[in-house]
Amino acid sequence: MVKHPLVKDILVDRKNIDTKISELAKNVNEYYKNINYKDSTVITIGLLKGCVPFMAGLIKELNFQCITDYMIVSSYAGNITNVQEPKIMNDISVNIEGCHVLLIEDIIDTGITLNFIKDYLLKKGAKEVKVITLASKPNKIKVDLKPDWNGFEFGDEFLIGFGLDYQERFRNLPFLATCDISKLDNWKW
């Protein structure tokens, strides 16, 4: 694959991402190993669109039965920073009342959107909501929220690849990289 001019530095390659996903799956499997499936179901909810590569790799390694569903919640509107209150664009279609929910996210930036979703799912009757994320930016989190499982930690870099995007592009890159934001003002697609 030819390196796109907006890819500044590759931070984590595909091999290391796959290794991290396996480690995370092992920890999640350990947590849910004693779930009584007659009384409870684990529902994995992916936050579209960024979760797709991470969730696809993760659920293949889960050794418990689960139901998968998805939500679209927006607060970025094509920008590189959070600019509006979270808004549910597409809600889940399954009943989560009394269920264990595993919320799957690509990255936690400010945490505002994820905190909003977690509260929303608890109000819908989830027994518990656990959060797993491929990446986070701990120094940017503005709410009282910590992921239960976290893959990689980053600083203030604007990241693209492996589900992370800029204006819906670059989600398909097989790595996590920094975006060369100095080029964005004059960039033409």
CATH code, 52: 3.40.50.2020
Q: What average pLDDT does the segment 90-119 reach?
A: 96
Q: Residue 37 in contact with residue 65, Cβ under 8 Å?
A: yes
**Does residue 179 lie within any of the structural domains?**
yes
84 within some domain? yes
Identify whether 32 is part of a domain.
no
- Within-domain flag for 188: no
User: Is residue 98 in some structural domain?
Assistant: yes
pLDDT for 41 equals 77
Burial class (CB in 10 A: 0-12, 13-18, 19+), 188: exposed
Is residue 74 classed exposed, middle or buried when 0-12, 13-18 and 19+ CB atoms within 10 A define those classes? middle
Tell me the C-alpha distance between 92 and 72, whole Å. Answer: 9
pLDDT band of 78, cuts 50, 70, 90: low
- Whole-number average pLDDT of the chain: 92
User: What's the average model confidence in pLDDT over 40-66?
Assistant: 94
Instruction: State the residue range of the domain holding 65.
Output: 7-27+43-183
Using 50, 70 and 90 to split pLDDT, how confident is the model at 84?
Answer: low
Q: By three-state DSSP, how is residue 123 classified?
A: helix
33 falls within a domain: no
Tell me which of 85 and 9 has the higher pLDDT: 9
**Averaged over 41-60, what is the pLDDT?**
96
Q: Does residue 35 lie in a domain region?
A: no
**Number of domains the chain is built from:** 1
In whole angstroms, give the CA distance from residue 164 to residue 170. 7
Residues recognised as catalytic: 109
Q: Band the pLDDT of 82: cuts 50, 70, 90.
A: low
What does pTM read for this prediction? 0.91
Using a pLDDT cut of 70, give the percent of the chain over it: 93
pLDDT at position 12 is: 98
Task: Examine the pLDDT at 135 and tell me if it is beyond 60.
Answer: yes
Q: Which two tokens stand for residue 161?
A: 């690849």
| Residue 68 counted as domain residue | yes
Q: Taking residues 22-28, what's their average pLDDT?
A: 98
Span 149-163, pLDDT tens digits: 999 999 999 999 999
Q: Each residue of 41-54: b (16+ CB within 10 Å) or e?
A: bbbbbbbbebbbbb
The residue whose two tokens read 């890819």 is 7
